[in-house]
A and B are shown apart, each in its own frame.
Chain A
């Protein structure tokens, strides 16, 4: 049976990637002789905010995380941001940006979502809706629509979303056209996905398990070999390369004079239930890869870096305590990382909730004290000059009570 949209389905399937961006100049900002760039990076899987930026000044910090607590004096010392906060040592580039007032950490923040399902949490993060539920558009795409003349998208014109890489986030879907770009070649599946599959095979199919085990073993040997050749090169190799390639490609598009101005890309793999490896292991490698991606963005943007804001967001945080398998389970508040030359940076913004048991959300998670929507609305308003009422009604519906955070850029 042949359907009218037969070939477009196949073509769609292979056409999308991770960077999504709009090719247009935000009108009002442009009238001020600015040419702002805005990139959102969605970290899927839920980032452990406490392991990324540690509250070293909190008296309960060490007691909370024990050996897993990052400190300035640890075996791998954290990088000092303020008297109260320190950055995971895997992120020297972010540290450098922070010191140059080009980075902001917003801590103890969260979306309005208060359950702990990845799928729903990611939907909410990307749809911008106050409650989980099906949505066919994301806040970034709708924000673009509000910036267009009369709030309508020119179907053939310059208002386009660009997507790079293998994961087209919901955040960019919507009325504005989606452009896509995808890195060449096949990105190997991540270790996390592979290990989950291996676990399933071990329970259900010995032959498949044997084959995949052999593959994992060879991969490990290959990596060991690569590391021996390049001493000191910390290596989640593939993730690092891929993050940098996808993010770097995004930045190259944004840097072009006639390129897109707004985009998004997704980086997966943050669901660290087991052996999290905060200072020296899995998470540390992932953060290192993210750090490399941020560096690639800065260098590929060139001069446009000065007019850029990159927002790094995730669906929710992880448990305050370490669980029984040296990891963390799904939690609530986490952090948002903002980098870019357009920021008034060098600050950690937090209404710190504290870490005592009674301070924690449901006695287990870092309590959210800042609504992520306030941060994003602040950026959209001050950086792209989006209309505040549209932000409250269309972009983040029902968020009139959440005021845009002022003074992030400028």
Chain B
């Protein structure tokens, strides 16, 4: 029995979006607003102009890479100066009887140098936080958030990590993921695998063909990392029939895909096909021969991988797992894979197929929301500050109290640090990975609960956030809470809110 009306609306918002919001766009009740046609509301979300873009003036990945490179170079120079000054001070002050360690400390600052401004965040952290703020705002303020959820999905599918390079992660998502989240999978794949952030993350920038000019001259060769992960994680999926020979050949194809050293002032941080690194000659990948054609050789392999039936199956499985259930219904996976194949990987059509399938609308809510997604939902509900009140944040900007830093801290505490996946396969997407962290979510809920000031009473908030999904037990638990903050915490920790 497929839910209808408000039940379907609430399901739509939780399962495909970031949960109901209290924003003005829906008259404060998004469940009621879309109850007449929940599927239509989701489809409309996919058709919005500029869906998936973020409005923020942020540097491109190459600009960011250069800025961070300059920053580190300057820091290094400062350090050097300081060391020099310290050495000089030591040689001047050195009494015959031995050094006085206490005097060495003040000498650490070079003459005329300003003490570091502690309140100012270092540039790389600031950049990262601004990128994070743009992303979090887009999710918190989305009407439904279906497209943002898709962006998050693809960003995790094609993850890079700030732990390896923090300059480009944010821009990478805006440049390689967002423009294609409703476009062609093949275009996203091409954008991702040629993006300097990915080439650096999966070690392709140093890879060179053994018979390339550079390989011969330097006695160096292949790094297979990127080629393997493209096959295993990004396209076909593990054990999809490719061999070690395919990996090696594909790695050869990709040699020369690198970046301009970010220290270069003009083009640093941009993609570069460097012919000197490229393994010359024809390559055989998955039984198909690819003639030598420089950078086009790699593009050709990627285009074929994007159209491969195993890729369709792999993506369909992951999408269904993310949106519907850890063990998704095989007919649903079949439908998504079929749409993927038949449309040549047109991702808007795949998303529509997901909405259209009856299997996507099971009343059972089997999926535990991953922590970051859950937290966005909490922030959307913790809206509502009484009007006419002005709030000024006491904490100076740039300190650890900066609000975005707290959001990121919560996300990290819950085990899903933004743009810091534990491995190239991204953050986990199954309950087993997240259920142990549920008690910790209660602590985070508690933080937001204290800050939420719903004007309406908690039962009203319950109606607007869960509607008919709320069980009698949950309703009673919320109604009997000792305070509004407690009611809020219990509401967002209720099984109906955690599972979708």
Contacts and interface: CB of A to CB of B under 8 A. Distances in A.
Given A1-B25, A1-B142, A165-B450, A15 B439 contact: no
B326 to A, nearest CB: 12
Interface stretch (A177-185, A226-234, A300-308): A177-185
A181 B395 contact: yes
Nearest to B456: A134
B457 A119 contact: yes
Q: Is the interface of B mostly helix, strand, loop or mixed?
A: helix
Pick the most buried of A45, A118, A179, A181: most chain B CB atoms within 10 A of its CB.
A118
A203 B485 contact: no
Interface stretch (A54-62, A64-72, A96-104, A207-215): A207-215
A10 B136 contact: yes
Given A14-B451, A189-B445, A178 B482 contact: no
A201 B382 CA distance: 23
A175 interface: yes
Interface in B428-473: 431, 435-436, 438-439, 442-453, 455, 457-458, 471, 473
A175 B391 contact: no
A269 B452 CA distance: 17
Contacts of B289: none
A196 B490 contact: yes
B443 A187 contact: yes
Given A196-B477, A268-B482, A13 B138 contact: no
A212 B438 contact: yes
Contacts of A182: 401
A200 B435 CA distance: 16
B442 A270 contact: no
Given A2-B137, A13-B382, A193-B490, A136 B390 contact: no
Nearest to B406: A14
A6 B141 contact: yes
Interface residues of B, number: 74
B30 to A, nearest CB: 12
A173 B388 CA distance: 9
A288 interface: no
Contact of A137 (B388, B410, B452, B482): B388
Nearest 9 Cβ contacts at the A-B interface: A166-B450, A136-B386, A271-B482, A215-B439, A45-B482, A14-B403, A205-B495, A167-B450, A44-B483
Interface of A: 1-3, 6-7, 9-18, 44-46, 118-119, 122, 134-137, 155, 160, 162, 165-168, 170, 173-175, 177-182, 184, 186-190, 192-194, 196-197, 199-201, 203-205, 207-208, 211-212, 215, 266, 268-271
Interface of B: 23-25, 48, 55, 133, 136-138, 140-143, 379, 382-383, 385-395, 400-401, 403-404, 406-407, 410, 413, 431, 435-436, 438-439, 442-453, 455, 457-458, 471, 473-474, 477, 480-487, 489-490, 493-495, 498-499
6 contacts: A3-B141, A44-B485, A119-B487, A177-B390, A196-B480, A196-B490
